[in-house]
């Protein structure tokens, strides 16, 4: 049965308090979509309500909290009514836990995977009945690092690599129902993570490092300098919001959309011989340091 215009206009977006998710929620709201926007606090909910139209409905949604996920899915279903489903589910929520894998606390590693991978699956499972009903589509926001790993970001890279593979498997599983699954692979984007405090677990490039021996100090500094340089050419979240809108509206959506500095270079780098990419990364990082020795 063909989807009605009303059904096409209902979307759920996670992680809309700041950054890409926030920009996407407002863009789709202005474009006439009925947006259900996941936020983690009442303060963010109130702020989003003040910025959007009456169509924009913020949801308190921590994607690691199954009770909140189930409540959000029930609320969306109630708001849409029995005949209507979702035109799209945009999984954008995520965090970054930086640091050397040798010393990373396992609770931080688990938290990284729980939010960026398991939480995505939990949301997909909860909203799939509405996606099926609305003949909608799924859009997962990944990262260029999901294809090209950088040191000190191992936990984050693992979660985004996992999301890449998960999205491929899901796309093939849902192919028989003509439910598209796309991955957005941003490069460097200007988001609130740059403004996290030094002791914040999500703070990239300022996240806490559990290296009591300080043996990774120089490498840590090199990566931080590289990330700060990337910020100078970072695109605004609104640019990625436009890409997500394109994936949402495309008659034949692509499996992957890349945008932002470094996104296409990451793809190229992932296809080069490993020894060559390791050498290039080392050369780039050494340039960020006043000394030539990094402990490698």
Q: Which residues are catalytic?
A: 156
DSSP state of 235: B
Distances (CA, A) of 97 to 16, 117, 202, 211: 19, 13, 5, 14
Tokens encoding 114: 């729980």
The CA distance from 205 to 79, in Å, is: 40
The CA distance from 87 to 245, in Å, is: 12
Phi first, then psi: give them for residue 233, nearest 5 degrees: -115, 10
H helix runs in the chain, sequence order: 5-8, 19-30, 42-51, 66-80, 106-113, 119-134, 154-173, 217-231, 237-249, 263-270, 274-286
Tokens encoding 18: 């700041």
Q: Is 141 helix (H, G, I), strand (E, B) or coil?
A: strand
For the chain, the C-alpha Rg in angstroms (whole number) is 20
Written in H, E and C, the secondary structure of 42-105 is HHHHHHHHHHCCCCCEEEECCCCCHHHHHHHHHHHHHHHCCCCCCCEEEECCCCCCCCCCCCCC
């Amino acid at each position: 049965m063909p989807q009605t215009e009303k059904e096409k206009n209902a979307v759920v977006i996670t992680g809309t308090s700041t950054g890409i998710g926030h920009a996407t929620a407002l863009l789709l709201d202005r474009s006439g979509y009925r947006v259900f926007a996941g936020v983690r606090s009442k303060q963010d909910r109130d702020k989003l309500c003040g910025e959007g139209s009456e169509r924009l409905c913020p949801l308190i949604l921590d994607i690691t909290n199954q009770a909140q996920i189930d409540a959000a899915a029930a609320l969306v279903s109630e708001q849409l009514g029995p005949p209507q489903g979702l035109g799209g589910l945009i999984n954008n929520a995520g965090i970054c836990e930086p640091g050397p894998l040798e010393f990373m606390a396992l609770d931080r590693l688990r938290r990284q995977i729980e939010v960026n991978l398991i939480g995505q699956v939990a949301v997909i499972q909860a909203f799939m009945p509405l996606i099926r009903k609305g003949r909608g589509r799924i859009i997962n926001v990944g990262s260029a690092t999901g294809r090209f790993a950088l040191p000190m970001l191992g936990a984050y890279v693992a979660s985004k690599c996992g999301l890449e593979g998960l999205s491929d498997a899901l796309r093939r599983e849902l192919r028989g129902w003509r439910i598209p699954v796309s991955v957005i692979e941003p490069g460097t984007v200007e988001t609130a993570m740059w403004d996290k405090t030094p002791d914040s677990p999500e703070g990239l490039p300022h996240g806490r490092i559990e290296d009591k021996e300080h043996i990774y100090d120089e490498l840590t500094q090199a990566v931080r300098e590289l990330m700060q340089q990337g910020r100078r050419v970072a695109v605004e979240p609104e640019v990625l919001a436009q890409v997500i809108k394109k994936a949402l509206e495309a008659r034949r959506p692509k499996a992957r959309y890349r945008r932002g500095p470094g996104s296409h270079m990451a793809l190229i780098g992932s296809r080069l011989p490993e020894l060559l990419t390791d050498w290039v990364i080392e050369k780039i990082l050494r340039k960020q340091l006043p000394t030539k020795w990094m402990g490698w």
